[in-house]
Amino acid sequence: MVYENLLLEIEEGVALLTFNRPKALNALSTDLLNEFRDALQELEKNDEVKVVILTGAGSKAFVAGADIAAMKEMNSQEALDYSSLGHECLSYLETMSKPVIAAVNGFALGGGTEVTLACDFIFASDNAKFGQPEINLGIIPGYGGTQRLPRTVGKNLARELIYTGDLIGAERAREIGLVNKVFSPEELIPETKKAAKKIAGKSTLAIKAAKTAINAGYDIDQSDGCEIEKKAFSQLFDCKDAKEGLTAFLEKRPPKFIGQ
């Protein structure tokens, strides 16, 4: 597909999906969100794609936030529709079977931070900035920030970031568990691709099972979560990939997974 607000490259099982509104610092317009949802759905169906990387065009921003000029003219119903579209996109992003890595280059503010929170994990350049500054506009996060941020960094720290609207740098984001690794701007995409290709070489069935178990078990009682894990674990033993992986280990050779 051809997109007006996104760039897409696929190589060696890894899709690099780039938010492409650099003049607007890749702000999340309605058009971009609609394209983003459609692109994710296409990538989910594409058997060639094993892992997705999200990043932003230009050197200044991953996603600098939502479309504030458009929001200024919204009434409450229009704001509800706009928020619902964002939630739809990020819920799909969070639950799609393929791992998604955010490669944050520059500002990830408001909706940008919320996008990263729906990814499986985050790599960042050392000049990246994160924050939920909506409070400075007299509003609050509208794409899941009040829900995913506390679950990621803890309730008290999330309250501080949301109530003050303060921004934090990449190293601070790593310290609080928001970011996994920090690289120089030049290293960010190569290092993210390296991690993505490593994951792409694993069994897609096992990765999907792991992601499903983690997501399904996160907000429930641990004993119930362990039941989900037992079911996901045992079902893999009917698949060719598990037989291949176990056999390859015993034969001291690299496994050849086929996604079956």
How far apart (Å, rounded) are the C-alpha atoms in residues 170 and 106?
9
Residue 153 in contact with residue 209, Cβ under 8 Å?
A: no
The whole-angstrom separation of Cα 85 and Cα 181 is 30
Catalytic residue list: 114, 134
Per DSSP bridges, beta strands 129-131 and 107-109 are: parallel
Q: Which pLDDT score, from 0 to 100, does residue 189 have?
A: 98
pLDDT of residue 99: 98
Tell me the CATH number of domain 6-200, given options 3.90.226.10, 1.10.490.10, 3.40.190.10, 1.20.120.160. Answer: 3.90.226.10
Query: Domain residues of the chain, as ranges?
Result: 6-200, 204-250
- Return the pLDDT at 219: 87
226's tokens: 């362990």
Q: Where are the alpha helices (DSSP H) in the chain?
A: 30-45, 68-72, 76-95, 111-117, 145-153, 155-164, 170-175, 185-200, 204-217, 222-235, 240-250
Q: How far are the Cα atoms of 13, 58, 98, 252 from residue 245, in angstroms, in the given order?
A: 19, 41, 20, 10
Ramachandran category for residue 234: left, alpha or beta (phi over 0 → left; psi -120 to 50 → alpha)? alpha
Torsion of CA 3, 85, 50, 171, to 10 degrees: 100
The whole-number pLDDT of residue 69 equals 86
Which residues sit opposite 7 in a β-bridge?
18
| Domain at 204-250: CATH code | 1.10.12
Tokens of 139: 């509003």
- Tokens representing 79 are 């704001």
Q: DSSP letter at 28?
A: B
**Given this model, what pLDDT does residue 80 score?**
96
Q: Quote the crossing angle between the two packed helices 204-217 and 222-235, to the nearest 10°.
A: 160
Over the chain (260 residues), the average pLDDT of each successive run of 10 is 93 97 94 97 96 96 91 94 96 97 97 98 98 97 97 97 98 98 98 98 96 93 95 95 96 94
**Across-strand partners of 103?**
123
**Do 126 and 182 touch, CB atoms closer than 8 A?**
yes
Write down the pLDDT at residue 239: 96
User: What one-character-per-residue DSSP string does 40-78 give?
Assistant: HHHHHH-TT--EEEEEESSSSEEE--B-HHHHHT--HHH
